[in-house]
Each structure stands twice: as structure tokens, then as C-alpha cells.
Chain A
């Protein structure tokens, strides 16, 4: 096949220490983890290994069936996304007419939602690499999102998916700017948790882009300054092209019909709709109630079955119609996605009942619910975590002096609970 190797060589070579190096290859299918998460503590090594084999069998059956229908599916979604995008932007050229303005926002939003979620995220996971089509491949796809695809693949595919919900390892937990688990010690800035999150939602793509630079990793020395500079250059180049396309070139054409301002407003609106949508869906993936976070010791001796269990306990699904699943990029099947990140997304819907049955049989929680409920839980959690835990303990037990806790915490007089 004729995929040029340029992109492969451009990819990052991660630095791992010796303990991590031992992980190379396939996780063991025998033995057991040194410590299991609380929610899985009732399982024996044999049961965990059997669970691993059952999930492997599900994966194998999808691999065996994968074929022309799946290829036709992703091509169709790509065609629909590009058509929506083109139609939306064309409508905005005549955006001074109200119906055209609304049609334009709808088209641009729909195009971008599909492109980012059901296409971009999943193609960049390598879900469609098996087709060997260089037009739809994890090494060539660049998405309509400010964060450059290659950098995102590193922080997301590698770091987040390998260390799902392991405190201190999964840098998605907290995104460094929010307190999203009571395992994170409270800091003064956490007071602004809900405000920060509310600001992050409509500007989500910029948030992700800056997060992918991993500035904090540079400070700790885990990431080289050289790599940071390279990533920053890539981001600058990508950001310039995105801004030029959405906020300059498109409105400029619209000035021909006197719709310049409307077109600009429509493009900003379309991007905001996409950003808020992506933010909502993604925050529902790991933060609703009942989702577990883990400590680093669960990684010791982790077997394939243990790894699967961590993915199931650390993720949450959303319930809804088939169309809803497509619009979330099938991240509504977050659990299935975390178990099988490289299986085609359109297959998660048929895999989900089997995974759920396994969870029930092994007495493991399978978190799912409608978007509204999950989103409310997520926001409530973020709001609640903006205050120290002791505040809520006092509040719930009816003890007076809860404001005193906050005042002391602010002044640094008490040590808030630490991990």
C-alpha cells in the first residue's frame, strides 16, 4: 500500500523509564494484579482471566466480521459531514437573510460535530486503518479542530487510554485546570471550578490544544523543551489556518453579498455549538457519579483482564437513539470504546449489550444514563469540588462552622484532605 511514511517518522518517540519498558507487548493473560480496585476486589484471578478471555472473544468476533459494510459506513459519514460543512458555509455567505443564517449555523455545527467526533476522533484511533485507504488513515488524517492531530494522538491515544483514570498518570483527569475528583487536594483556585468549566465549554478546542502542549510536563522535565517548541510551532501553524478559514476567508466571501458580519457570527456560533457539544459528551465519559478513579498501584502486575476491568469501571456511557450515538462519535459507548479503542465505532452499539451482560455477571458496575442526568451529575460534582471536602462533611452532618472550614482553608490554616 502506498501510505507515505513521512508522518510515521514525524511521530514522537516517548521516553519511558525501565519499569514502564517492561510493559512492552501484550499484557499477560495469567496471574493477577497485585492490588485490584475496590469495586473488583471480590473477583479471583481465575475470574478476572476468564473475563479477559470473554472480552477478547467479543473483539475477535468483530474483527472477523469487519468488512465492506463498515467501509461504506465511514465513507458515507465523511460525505455527509463534508456536505453539511460546505452547505453551511455557503448558506452563511447569504447570512443576512435569517433562514440562511440559521441554516448556516446548523450546517457548520453538524459538519464539525460529525468531523470531530464520529470521524476525526475515531480515525485518529486507527479504527479504520484496516481499510488501508490513505485518505482515511490514522497517520494521514488531520481534523477540523485547532489541536494538531499528531500531538493529540499522543496525549489521548497513548497517555489517556493507557492510564485511564489512574490519578497522577492519566492527565485527562483534572485537565490540570479543574478539580474533578476528591482525590485531588483542594486548592484556592478550585473555588473557580464551575466558572473555569463554563468558560472551557465554548472554547473547548483551544483548551485541548493548549493541554496537548503539556507545559507542566516541561516544567517537571518529563518533556523536552525542544519537543515543546516543535509542538508549539505545529499548533501555531494549525491555528493560523483554522482562524484564516473560519473567521477571515469565509466572512470575506460573504461581504460580496453584504453578509460579512453575519457570516462571521455564524462561524463563531457553529464552532461554539461544536465545542459545547464535545465538552458535554466528553465530560460525561469519565466524571459522572459511580465512575471510579484509581491509584498507581493497580498498574502493578496488571493482566489483560485487570486492564479491561479498569476501563469498564473508569468510564460511563450515555443512553440514546442510534442518531444520538453517531452525533457523540459513539463516545456514548465510552465503556466499549475504552475496552476496544481500535474497533470501528459503528460496532460499539452491537457490542454494548454483551459487555453489559459480562459486567452484570461479574458484579461490576456499568455506568450509563441519559445525557441530561449524566451532565447534571458531572456539573454538580465540579461545583461541589470547588469547596473543600470538609465543608460538605460539616454541611451534611448539620455541624456548624462550615464557613469556618472554608475561611481556614483559604488562609491555609488547615490541611485539606490529600490523596
Chain B
């Protein structure tokens, strides 16, 4: 490593102000000093609507823990778009994601990804991971909420003869259920795993608002460490159930969709300036730069009319509108021009 670093430093004397990776890019599309990338090693399609994509990440990736997720970027019509996916492969293996074609990025991944394609990546993250010591577990999942749990089962079950896991998984029907064959095989093969699959298409949803459904399948649910991942309703119901049972610590929840407020007719809102620890309320036509300066926040600024881009500021969350074009910007981490954008609902900025 020390030698590589020395070579890198020496090479950067010749490539300055660019990095050696920038020059390596001429021949190797994976090379980048700023952006982690991965190359697709295999694409397995399950029907028309979903696919499992395996990839080999470049330097800078940290091996994932079972249950973690990573941000994956693709380029759609020239623009880098990001979305987060659970890594469904067992810990210690090359990462893979299982994607259902809902939404622009997922559809692009399912329909267009081929072996040897380049994906843009951010290192794995997330606290939805296995407990450190051996414990009986209960997993409740629905739809694609099975993906992080799949990684946990693949990691834990084959290696631990003493594992004791109950999985309650809901899917619309047999065709829509991800990993269903593998789950059934594992259920037969390992005594420590009980898989209960519920098809909501025929039988309706399981009601998790009271204990009876869980009680029937898993009578000792109170003594198990529970994990839940799926649609918001499921998460809310189970959270309430565990809280009412006096076990709020016993449940680990994974939420995917952050609550995004729909833009209202009366735009504007509260802008939170995270670094400056300030807040300001504003209407939908005052540029954010002006709102910030009024509130005493030191904001980068330049031409004040949207041409010089000195004022670019990362959007942590929320939505802003370009006052020239009406275009809405709402992507986490996107750099916005504060001198010509106004808040649409609550906005968090990193200044």
C-alpha cells in the first residue's frame, strides 16, 4: 500500500492538476479519483419486472454487513441518477442488488443493465444488521422488503446450526414474490428456519395492528429480536404493536421511502440552515439566498441572477423551485443555485 501511494504521488506530479486516475480513465472507465464505481458481473432476470444485478466494486468500497444498503447511480439521458438498494448477497460475497422495475432508476436498471456495465456507487450503510450475539429472531417483511433480510438469512442460516429464525413474508402472489424458491428450499433444508409466506392477492393483508396474527405464527414473538422491512403501513403497525407490548427496543425497522411532502399551492416554507443552526420561514417567491442572508446565515454568492454558480449549495432534503423555469429540484445532495430558487415546502440546506 505504501509503495502504491508513493507511485500515485509521483505520478500526480505529471498529471497535476488532474489526478492519475483522470488519465487512467482514457483506457479504464472504472478509474476515478472522486467517484466510486463498480462493474456489473452478472444480471439474472426474474420475469419481466425484476432482476438481480451482481457487481464488483472498485477501490474505496467497504465490504457490506448483512442487511445494509448502498446508493447506486446510473446515467439516464446523460444525467446521473441515484437510488438506494439493499444488498441481498450474503456477507463476504460480492454485492448484488435485486431490483423491481418501479420508478425511473429501477426501471433503467432492470431493462438496460448488462454484464460489464459501470455502476456508480456509494459505500454500504445502515444499522439494519444482525445482532452481535446469537438470539432467536423474527423477521417480518413485505414485497421488496425481503431484500435486506435475504442477505441476513443467507449469511446466518448456513453457518449457524443453532440459528432460530422465523420469517413472515408477504407478497402479492407467487409470480411477484422475490426469492420464493430459495426461501422454500432453505426452509426445508435448515431446521432453524421457519418460513411463512403469505399471498395478499388471495388472502388480503396480514393485520399487524394487534398481536393475534403474530401470536398465531410465532407465539414467542415477545422474546425474539424482531426486524421489519416493507411498506410504511406495515412499519407503522408493527412499531405500534411492539411499543404497546412495552418492547420498543425489541424491534428494528428499516425505512426506505422518506416522507416527501407533495408541493402545495401555497409554496414556501421553513428553511433549515443545518451548519449555521438557523431557521427561517419564507414564501415561495423569495430566493433562498435572500432568505438566508436575512436570517444572518453566511451564504456563498456571486452574480445574484443565476449565471455564475458561485452560490451552489447542497440540498440536504426538501424541494426547491427554479424561479426562471419553474423546474423542481428535490434530489438529496443535489447542488442548488440559491440566488434563483425558492422553497417548496420545508427545505434543509447544508450551510
Contacts and interface: CB of A to CB of B under 8 A. Distances in A.
> Which applies to chain A's interface (DSSP): helix, strand, loop or mixed?
helix
Interface residues of B, number: 57
B309 A132 contact: no
Interface in A62-118: 63, 66-72, 79, 82-83, 86, 89
Contact of B309 (A27, A126, A162): A126
A244 B306 CA distance: 37
B304 A82 contact: no
B48 interface: no
A16 B339 CA distance: 14
B82 A1 contact: yes
B300 to A, nearest CB: 4
A5 B307 contact: no
B74 to A, nearest CB: 11
Interface string A262-273: 000000000000
Given A132-B80, A158-B302, A245-B16, A14 B310 contact: yes
B253 interface: no
Given A1-B80, A1-B331, A24-B287, A13 B308 contact: no
B346 interface: no
Interface in A1-41: 1-3, 5, 8-9, 11-14, 16, 20-21, 23-27
A107 to B, nearest CB: 14
B78 interface: yes
A130 interface: yes
A2 B340 contact: no
B308 A249 contact: no
Given A14-B302, A24-B289, A25-B304, A79 B17 contact: no
> Which applies to chain B's interface (DSSP): helix, strand, loop or mixed?
loop
B327 to A, nearest CB: 8
A3 B77 contact: no
A68 to B, nearest CB: 4
B79 A131 contact: yes
Interface stretch (B18-26, B132-140, B221-229): B18-26
B73 to A, nearest CB: 7
B323 A161 contact: no
A158 B80 contact: no
A244 B13 contact: yes
Interface stretch (A139-147, A287-295, A360-368): A139-147
Contact of B302 (A27, A70, A71, A154): A154
A135 interface: yes
A16 B310 contact: no
B314 interface: yes
B303 A1 contact: no
A245 B13 contact: yes
Contacts of B307: 157, 161-162, 341-342
Nearest to B350: A5
Contact of A144 (B18, B299, B325): B18
Contacts of B16: 241-242, 244-245
23 contacts: A3-B314, A8-B312, A12-B300, A13-B300, A14-B302, A21-B304, A23-B304, A25-B323, A26-B305, A26-B323, A26-B340, A82-B22, A86-B26, A131-B78, A131-B79, A132-B80, A132-B81, A135-B32, A158-B303, A241-B13, A244-B16, A245-B15, A245-B16
Interface of A: 1-3, 5, 8-9, 11-14, 16, 20-21, 23-27, 56, 60, 63, 66-72, 79, 82-83, 86, 89, 125-126, 129-135, 138-140, 142-144, 153-154, 157-158, 161-162, 238, 241-242, 244-245, 249-250, 307, 341-342
